């Protein structure tokens, strides 16, 4: 599949404007272009499909609009805010949260949810930590709500404060947003603010409309329309020299090119707020993603570089820090800030490489031949003279394939090229022609 991205006048599904795709084979377009849901890669989650050249009847359009309306959340953000105000006034014994509907319940609604599981005595602390109250949506391709551990969250927040940022546009990072909100309410001198942009509308129960916007990062769609867009624009306006940074943590199954397109639009929004000085600059950004997407991210953002810091998640079995060998978390920070300014914790074994002018992990040894710290996964890599580059420690040079690869591999597969351009040497996901 190749993505053409957001197309003007694209039809919409419940997740906003659809994206335009085409099937490709060996580098050539094959078949008709079609629209599909931007957020759900799995047809089971949203089965929206329409050929680009298809004539859709008035009846079907009306039915589709009706369907989209019916698949919106049962309460608006404004209604959720009113409900929250009433909920907070209740005594502890009357504060209930329905686990099945993932909803704060007012006493008048108990009857309707009587056969559901619910949590009782919801405290103010729980209301201030919604990411711990709500079930994580763990569909890898759509929501993939893997939530930062306390370690990663504190590291990110302290780093942002040390770098002098006072406003954080939190795109799909509810835990970071939560930590900022909670500190701001507890510590008077804490002056960092956050705006959460997230596709998970459940958060609208806990945050006001200038703290949360319902947003789809795959098609840059604000569900709250122009008002929400304006909230975001206002937040990005740097008054009193309060510097803004964007921190994004997308689902790892998401299309890099769709995400890059939305992030560029958010950056453009930032540029437009400040006519002077921003013209040729990029908004400072942290994009959190696995290291094996490095080449794809750099295709779209050549100014970015990858940091060695391992970001880990509470509810993901594999993405845990402190494991050894291949079991370490593959998730890294990609940023357009100067690498030497990103100070990584020495107590976790990170150290500064004076040649590369950046912090690297303990296993990342500087290679004299490549003249850089070459490891991507935290293990020490080895230099292959024939490949003229460093490779993973478990790889060996195969004279048939004429490159380094795993010891147990079948050589005959090497003449099969990339599905997109037909050339050998890379997979479809890393194809340069996709950019």
Percent of the chain predicted with pLDDT > 70? 86
Q: How far is CA 122 from CA 91, 96, 113, 215, in A?
A: 10, 6, 16, 27
Helix, strand, coil content of the chain in percent (nearest 5): 30, 25, 45
pLDDT, position 140:
46
pLDDT, position 435:
46
The residues that bridge with 216 in the sheet, in sequence order, are 221
**pLDDT exceeds cutoff 60 at 143:** no
Percent of the chain predicted with pLDDT > 90? 61
**pLDDT exceeds cutoff 60 at 51:** yes
DSSP letters spanning 368-383: TTTTEE--SSSSPPEE
Tokens 């031949």 appear where? 369
Entry pTM? 0.88
Say how far apart CA 79 and CA 364 lie, in whole Å. Answer: 52
Q: What secondary structure letter does DSSP report for 394? A: T
pLDDT, position 317:
56
Residues 6+ apart with CB under 8 A from 84: 104, 205, 206
What the block records as the tokens of 348 is 């976790």
pLDDT, position 407:
84
Tokens 């890059």 appear where? 260
Element (H, E) at 257: helix 256-273
What the block records as the tokens of 116 is 């559901």
pLDDT digits (tens, 9 = 90+) for 162-173: 999 999 999 999
pLDDT digits (tens, 9 = 90+) for 282-334: 899 999 999 999 999 999 999 999 999 999 888 665 555 555 545 678 899 99
pLDDT band at 386 (very low <50, low <70, confident <90, very high): confident
What the block records as the tokens of 271 is 């540029």
Residues in the chain: 435
What the block records as the tokens of 38 is 């931007």
Of 94 and 373, the structure prediction assigns the larger pLDDT to: 94
């Amino acid at each position: 599949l190749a993505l053409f991205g957001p197309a003007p006048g694209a039809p919409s599904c419940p997740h906003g404007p659809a994206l335009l795709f085409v099937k490709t084979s060996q580098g050539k377009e094959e078949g008709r272009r079609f629209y599909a849901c931007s957020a759900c890669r799995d047809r089971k989650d949203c089965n929206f499909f329409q050929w680009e050249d298809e004539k859709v009847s008035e009846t079907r359009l009306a039915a589709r609009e009706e369907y989209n309306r019916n698949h919106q959340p049962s309460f608006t953000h404004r209604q959720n805010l009113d409900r929250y105000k009433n909920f907070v006034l209740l005594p502890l014994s009357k504060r209930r949260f329905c686990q099945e509907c993932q909803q704060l319940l007012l006493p008048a609604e108990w009857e309707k949810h009587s056969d559901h599981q619910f949590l009782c005595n919801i405290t103010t602390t729980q209301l201030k930590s919604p990411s711990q109250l709500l079930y994580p949506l763990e569909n890898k391709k759509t929501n993939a709500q893997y939530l930062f551990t306390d370690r990663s969250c504190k590291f990110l927040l302290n780093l942002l404060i040390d770098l002098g940022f006072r406003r954080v546009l939190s795109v799909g990072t509810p835990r970071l947003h939560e930590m900022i909100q909670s500190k701001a309410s507890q510590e008077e001198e804490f002056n960092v603010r956050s705006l959460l942009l997230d596709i998970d509308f459940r958060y609208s129960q806990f945050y006001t409309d200038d703290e949360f916007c319902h947003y789809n990062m795959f098609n840059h769609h604000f569900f709250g329309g122009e008002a929400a867009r304006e909230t975001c624009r206002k937040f990005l306006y740097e008054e009193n020299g309060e510097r803004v940074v964007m921190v994004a943590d997308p689902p790892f199954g998401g299309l890099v090119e769709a995400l890059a397109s939305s992030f560029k639009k958010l950056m453009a929004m930032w540029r437009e707020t400040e006519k002077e000085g921003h013209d040729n600059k990029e908004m400072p950004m942290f994009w959190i993603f696995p290291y094996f997407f490095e080449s794809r991210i750099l295709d779209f953002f050549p100014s970015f570089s990858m940091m060695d810091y391992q970001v880990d998640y509470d509810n993901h079995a594999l993405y845990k820090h402190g494991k050894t060998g291949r079991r370490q978390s593959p998730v890294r920070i990609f940023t357009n800030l100067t690498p030497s300014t990103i100070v990584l914790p020495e107590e976790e074994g990170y150290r500064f490489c004076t040649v590369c002018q950046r912090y690297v992990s303990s296993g990342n040894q500087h290679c004299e031949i490549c003249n850089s710290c070459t490891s991507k996964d935290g293990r020490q890599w080895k230099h292959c003279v024939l490949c003229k580059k460093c490779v993973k420690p478990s790889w060996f040079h195969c004279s048939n394939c004429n490159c380094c690869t795993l010891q147990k591999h079948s050589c005959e597969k090497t003449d099969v090229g990339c599905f997109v351009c037909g050339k050998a040497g890379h997979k479809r996901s890393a194809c340069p022609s996709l950019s």
